[in-house]
């Protein structure tokens, strides 16, 4: 009897917490379902989970499309490597090749939903932004970066360069870049813009465990219900702790349905927000 009462209390608390998290947060309309009179799945309003998107995030068709987009951008050592890697995989294994990285995951998501608002922490030379912009040329983009010169040994020219890269993929929308440490600039932006919510957010900035955790926690409230959160480098050998950060902060929160690709490359994870 006492155990049943405790469980009912716990359920009520959890239900109220879910309602509190969702209060005032807009939905991503394509990935959620709501019936006005009797929403049986009120506690879990998603219409599509990660399995709906997994194939398009890692298929040979997607890798080929990403390869074509990369060839439109200003080359650097990483782009050249990525082009050769994807080209070799496709040549050797054809349609059977299965590979995922941050670019293929963003492509797979954007291929299947209309992304009206996109936020990114860790812009660098704008490759990820260009993938999103190529599929949604009117998406509203918000990017945060420190623009560290010579980051990972590659020239890092800054916002004006990224804007030119976006033009190469046909982008015609509104873009805003904010310079500074995301631990401070992101909370300030949200404080100044309380109604800002996003269909898709990528976190690929500070790769320290604490920095990545802060970035993830800062953006969780601003992902739409049914919106997507992407996190890079979960199996990067130089940052082996990032997978644990993702699993603890995002998977462990219970607020997302998630999937991780960690077999090839440096790994990437994505989640769809339940509440």
* Distance between CA atoms of residues 111 and 187, nearest Å: 30
Q: Copy the structure tokens of residue 243.
A: 């997978």
Mean pLDDT of the chain, nearest integer:
93
pLDDT at 21 over 80: no
What is the pLDDT averaged over residues 62-75? 97
Question: What is the percent of the chain with per-residue pLDDT over 90, rounded to a whole number?
Answer: 82
* Distance between CA atoms of residues 179 and 83, nearest Å: 29
Q: Is residue 217 part of a domain?
A: yes
Written as one string, the DSSP assignment of the chain is -HHHHHHHHHHHHHHHHHHHHHTTPPB-TTTB---SS--TTTTS-BS--THHHHHHHH-HHHHHHHHHHHTTSPP-HHHHHHHHHHHHHHHHHGGG-----HHHHHHHHHHHS---EEEEE--TTSHHHHHHHHH-TT-EEEEEE---TTGGGS----HHHHHHHHHHTT--S-EEEEES-HHHHHHHHHHH-TT--EEEEEE-S--SHHHHHHHHHHHGGGEEEEEEEEEE-TT-GGGTTHHHHHIIIIITTTSEEEEEE-SSTT-EEEEEE--
The domain total for the chain is: 1
Its domain, for residue 225, covers 113-273
pLDDT digits (tens, 9 = 90+) for 114-171: 999 999 999 999 999 999 999 999 999 999 999 988 777 788 899 999 999 999 999 9
Please report the pLDDT score of residue 29 as a whole number. Answer: 92
Angle at which helices 60-70 and 127-135 cross, to 10°: 110
pLDDT digits (tens, 9 = 90+) for 217-263: 999 999 999 999 999 999 999 999 999 999 999 999 999 999 999 99
Please report the pLDDT score of residue 251 as a whole number. Answer: 98
Q: Is residue 227 part of a domain?
A: yes
What is the pLDDT averaged over residues 201-230? 98
Q: Is residue 77 part of a domain?
A: no
* Distance between CA atoms of residues 45 and 224, nearest Å: 12
pLDDT at 2 over 80: no
Q: Is residue 57 part of a domain?
A: no
Task: Give SS3 for 243.
Answer: helix
* Distance between CA atoms of residues 179 and 108, nearest Å: 28
Please report the pLDDT score of residue 38 as a whole number. Answer: 59
Q: Which range has the worst mean pLDDT, 3-7, 56-60, 78-82?
A: 3-7
Please report the pLDDT score of residue 220 as a whole number. Answer: 98
pLDDT at 24 over 90: no
The stretches of 124-230 forming alpha helices (DSSP H) are 127-135, 159-168, 182-192, 209-219
Q: Which range has the worst mean pLDDT, 2-6, 97-101, 182-186, 258-262?
A: 2-6
Q: Which range has the worst mean pLDDT, 30-39, 96-105, 131-140, 181-190?
A: 30-39
Where residue 219 sits, what CATH number does that domain have? 3.40.50.150
Q: Is residue 264 part of a domain?
A: yes
pLDDT at 4 over 70: no
Q: Is residue 97 part of a domain?
A: no
Q: Is residue 265 part of a domain?
A: yes
pTM equals 0.93
Do residues 39 and 45 touch, judged by C-beta distance below 8 A? yes
Q: Is residue 187 part of a domain?
A: yes
Please report the pLDDT score of residue 11 as a whole number. Answer: 67
Please report the pLDDT score of residue 42 as a whole number. Answer: 64
pLDDT at 186 over 80: yes
Phi, psi of 22 (to 5 degrees): -85, -15
């Amino acid at each position: 009897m006492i155990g049943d009462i405790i469980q009912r209390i716990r359920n009520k608390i959890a239900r109220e917490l879910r309602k509190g998290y969702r209060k005032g947060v807009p939905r991503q309309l394509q990935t959620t379902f709501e019936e006005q009179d009797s929403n049986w799945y009120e506690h879990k309003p998603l219409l599509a989970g990660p399995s709906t998107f997994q194939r398009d995030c890692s298929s040979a068709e997607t890798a080929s499309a990403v390869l074509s987009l990369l060839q439109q951008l200003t080359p650097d050592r990483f782009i050249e490597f990525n082009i050769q890697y994807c080209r070799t995989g496709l040549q050797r294994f054809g349609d059977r090749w299965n590979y995922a990285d941050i670019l293929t995951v963003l492509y797979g998501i954007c291929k299947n939903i209309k992304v009206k608002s996109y936020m990114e922490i860790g812009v660098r030379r704008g490759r990820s932004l260009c993938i999103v912009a190529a599929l949604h040329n009117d998406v509203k983009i918000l990017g945060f970066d420190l623009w560290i010169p010579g980051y990972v040994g590659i020239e890092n020219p800054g916002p004006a360069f990224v804007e030119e890269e976006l033009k190469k993929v046909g982008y015609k929308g509104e873009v805003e870049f904010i310079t500074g440490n995301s631990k401070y600039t992101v909370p300030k932006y949200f404080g100044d813009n309380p109604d800002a919510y996003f269909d898709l957010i990528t976190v690929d900035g500070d790769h320290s465990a604490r920095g990545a955790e802060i970035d993830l926690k800062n953006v969780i409230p601003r992902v739409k219900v049914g919106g997507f959160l992407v996190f890079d480098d979960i199996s990067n050998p130089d940052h082996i702790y990032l997978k644990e950060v993702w699993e603890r902060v995002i998977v462990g929160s219970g607020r997302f349905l998630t999937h991780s690709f960690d077999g090839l490359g440096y790994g990437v994870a994505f989640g769809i927000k339940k509440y």
